[in-house]
Chains A and B, each alone.
Chain A
C-alpha cells in the first residue's frame, strides 16, 4: 500500500488530544438525574478511595480514536497499484500532425504509426472495445468505442495526415473522456513532438501509454513569413521570411521565391547549426498574387520547406451611394483601393441593399432600417430620434469635442471642420459620439452605422485634405481583412474569416491540392485548413480571391525534440503489446465508509452513557 499524501499522518497527533480530553475532562460528563441525595453517601465513600486523577480508558474513547484514525488514513490517500484487466476500453490515438510526415521512419512516421496501430488492433482480444482518435490541431473521433475491430481498422486506413500542429492537451482530454471513470488504456502512436509544458499541464498522463515513432533528427524549416504593403507604391510589398536550422551543423540552403508565373529570387545562403536566418525582400506584386518561398533541399520533413503568401489587394468592395450625387464623395471613394462604386439617386423599392458591402445615404432618408454597413450623411437611420430642442449653434458650427484616438479619426484634425447649418439634435448615446459640436453631435458611430450629422455641401469637410482619409478610415474599419494581405494568411488548422459573402453568390473554396469545398450561404468562416498551401475562393461570378495557409511551427519542425520530453517508463515498444497496464486502486473511499460505519456505534454509546438516572 502506498500513500499519495503521506504528510497527513501528522494529523494523528489529534489522538493525543482525545486521550487528554478523557484524562482532564472525563469527570465533567454531566448527567441529569432525578435525585442526587440517593447518590451522596456513595459519592462520599468513593471520594475516600479515589485518586485525584485516574485515566480510565473507555470504549467510547477507543471508538472516537478509531474514527479519527480512519479519517487521517483517508487524508493520506492510500492506494494500491496493480495491473488492469485486459477487458477494459482502449482508446487509440494516431498523431497526424505535421511532424509525422518526417521520413526518418520509412516510409514516414505517420504511415509507420498506422501500421503499428493496425497491428495493435489485430492483437487485441475480441471483447475489448476500442475507439480511434486522430490528433491534429483539433482531435477528431474517427471511431467511437466499439468491439467491431474491423470497423476501427477501416477508419484507421482512411486516416490521412494533416499539416497542422498537434494540440496535445485537447487530445488527451478527449481520449480521457472515453475512459470509464479513469479505467482503461489510452495508447498514443506519436513521435512525441510536443513541448514538455503541455505534458505538465495535462495531469492525466498516467493513463496514456506512448508508442514512439521516429528518432531525434535535424531539419530545416521556414518558421515565419509575412507580406505587407509598403508606401513605395500601390503594388509594392515587403516580404519577411525566417529560416530555422534545426541541425547542429552549418547548412547551405538554396531557395527560390516565386509566383506561379515568375521567379523573383533564386539564391543560396548558409545558416549556422541551431540558428535562425531572417530575410526581407521588396517585391512588386500584381493584385492577389500567390507567392511561394521554397527551400530546394531534401531533408527529413519536406512540408516546412515551403511557405506561402498572397500579395496585392483583396477583392473589390461594392459601395452604393444612394441620394444626392456628390463629386467630392465619389472621388474620395474612388481613391480607395478596390472600391467599386454604384449610384442610385432615387432608390427603388425593390433595390436589394444586401448586394452591397457598404451603403452611403447622402441627404436621402431611407424608408426602412438597413442591415449591414451604412454611412448616413445629413440623414438619419429610422431608429434614431431627434430632440425637440433647437441645436442653436452659432455659425459656423465647429467641433467642440472629439475622440482623438478613434480609428475613424486617424490622420484627421476635426479642429479645421466648419459647418454652416444647424446639425440635427440627435438623441444618441454619448459613447457613440465621435465628434460633438456645442449643441449636437456631428459624427457618431452606432454598431455598423456611421452618421455624419451635416450636409457635405454645407460644410468645408469635402474641401479638407482629410476628407478622403476619412473614407479610407471608414473602409479600413469596416473591411480591414480585405485591404491588408496579412489577413489573407493564416496558420494551418486556424479558421479563415473571408468576410460576408455577397448574397445569392455561392462560394467554393479550392484547396492546395485541388479539392473543392462548397461554402453555405451566409457562412463567413472556413475551417478545413489542415493542409498548407494557397487556397482559392471562387465566387460564381468568376471573381476569385486567395489566402495562404502555412505551418510555421517550431514544435513540429524541430525534430530534435522527437520523444525527448517523454519519460522512459511512458514509452512502450511495439513488441510490448501485453494488454495490461498499471492502475491505481484508491482506498480512501473505503476508510471513509468505515468511519461512517463506526460513527453510529460511537453515537449510540455516547447516547447510552448520556442517559443517566
Chain B
C-alpha cells in the first residue's frame, strides 16, 4: 500500500511544519485583480442588457431610478496541476521511481488541498492517461490519494512533447504545473515545455532518477535492454564505459536544467534515496514551491 497510515501521519506533520514556516513570513493567499463573481463586493457599474439580473442592486435602483450591477472581487482560481510520468521506465529502482513520484505528488496535493488550492493531476506516458479533475478543499484529499494509489502501474513509452502540448490546449487559463518525470525521453521534452511556457504556465519540473541510474553498478559483457522500447544493445561495460556514462547522465541533467533556466522553469532534481518530506521542506524554504 502506497499511502499507508504512516504516510498520512507524515503528511499531517509536514502540514504543521509548513504552517510554521508560512507564519514566519510567507504569504499563503493569492488574490486576483480580475473582477468576477467572487464573494467580496468591489464596485458598481451600469447595467448592460445580458448581465445577470441577480446582481442588480435594487436598493440603488429605488434611490436613483437606474439599474446598476454589483461587482465583486473574485478569489483567483489558483490551479495546481500535477503531471506524473507513468511510462515503463518509471518502474525502475527500489523503491521504484513511480512509487517515489506518487508519494511526492501525494504530499504536494495534500498540502495544496489543505490550503484550499485547486488541485488536478494526471498520469501520462504517450498521452494523458488517468486524470483527477481539478477540485479543491480538504474533502478531496481522500479521493486524490485514492486516485494516486490506483495508478501505480507503469506501462508504455514516454512522449513528453505530446503530453505537454495537449495540456496547454486543454486548460485555457494557465496555472501551475508540476511535472514529475525522469525525462528519459529520446524524442525530447523541449517542444512541450516551450508551449506551456509560452502560455504563461508556472512550470516546475521534478526530475526523478534512481541512484543506479546515476551511478550504475554493472560490469562485463552485457546485453542492455531498454525497459520501454525493448531495444537491445550489446556492450562491454568497464570502468571507462561507466565513467563515460556518468558524464553522459550529468550532461543530460545539465541540458534540462539550462533549458529550464532559459524558460523560467523551476528545475528540481530528485534522487529517489532522498526522503520526500525533506525535499518538500527544502523546496519551500528555498521559495521554489509555495
- Using a CB–CB distance below 8 Å, which chain A residues touch chain B? 26-43, 45-46, 50, 54, 56, 58, 608-609, 611-613
Contacts and interface: CB of A to CB of B under 8 A. Distances in A.
B71 to A, nearest CB: 54
B254 interface: no
Interface stretch (B34-42, B166-174, B242-250): B242-250
Contacts of B219: 609
Given A37-B186, A50-B236, A26 B245 contact: no
Contacts of A54: 221, 236
Contacts of B248: 38-39, 41-42
B14 interface: no
12 contacts: A26-B221, A30-B224, A31-B218, A31-B222, A32-B225, A33-B226, A37-B226, A42-B235, A46-B236, A46-B241, A50-B236, A613-B245
Contacts of A45: 244
A48 to B, nearest CB: 12
A512 B265 CA distance: 119
A365 B221 CA distance: 97
Contacts of B241: 42, 46
Interface stretch (B21-29, B57-65, B134-142, B209-217): B209-217
A613 B212 contact: yes
Contact of A34 (B213, B223, B245, B252): B213
Given A34-B182, A38-B252, A26 B224 contact: no
B89 interface: yes
B92 interface: yes
A42 B248 CA distance: 9
B222 A29 contact: yes
Contacts of A50: 236
A36 B233 contact: yes
Contacts of B225: 30-33, 36
A30 B228 CA distance: 15
A40 B231 CA distance: 11
Contacts of A41: 244, 248
B32 interface: no
A609 B184 contact: no
Nearest to A612: B218
Contact of B233 (A40, A608, A613): A40
Interface in B185-202: 186
Contacts of A32: 224-227
A35 B221 CA distance: 18
B229 interface: yes
A609 B212 contact: no
A29 B220 CA distance: 9
Contacts of B286: none
B33 interface: no
A613 B227 CA distance: 10
Contact of A42 (B89, B92, B245): B245
Contacts of A56: 220-221
Given A30-B224, A33-B213, A39-B235, 13 more contacts: A28-B223, A30-B223, A31-B218, A31-B225, A33-B224, A34-B227, A35-B184, A35-B213, A35-B226, A42-B244, A611-B217, A612-B224, A613-B212
A100 to B, nearest CB: 74
A609 B220 contact: yes
A613 B245 CA distance: 11
Contacts of A30: 222-225, 232
Contacts of B231: 36
B224 A34 contact: no
A40 B89 CA distance: 17
Contacts of B234: 27-28, 43
A435 B110 CA distance: 99
B161 to A, nearest CB: 16
A26 B220 contact: yes
Contacts of B249: 38
A34 B244 contact: no
A27 B231 CA distance: 16
B184 A34 contact: yes
In this complex, the member of A26, A43, A608, A609 whose beta carbon has the largest number of chain B beta carbons within 10 angstroms is A43
A613 B221 contact: no
A206 to B, nearest CB: 50
A113 B173 CA distance: 115
Contacts of A26: 220-221
Nearest to B184: A35
Nearest to B187: A37
A29 B223 contact: yes
Nearest to A58: B220
Given A33-B227, A43-B235, A45-B244, A27 B221 contact: yes
A34 B219 CA distance: 17
Interface string B33-74: 000000000000000000000000000000000000000000
Nearest to A43: B235
B98 to A, nearest CB: 11
Contacts of A613: 212-213, 216, 218, 224, 245
Interface string B155-175: 000000000000000000000
A139 B15 CA distance: 88
A27 B244 CA distance: 20
Nearest to B226: A36
Interface string B136-156: 000000000000000000000
In this complex, the member of B186, B235, B241, B245 whose beta carbon has the largest number of chain A beta carbons within 10 angstroms is B235
A56 B219 CA distance: 11
Identify the 5 closest CB pairs spanning chains A and B, nearest first: A36-B226, A34-B89, A613-B216, A35-B184, A27-B221
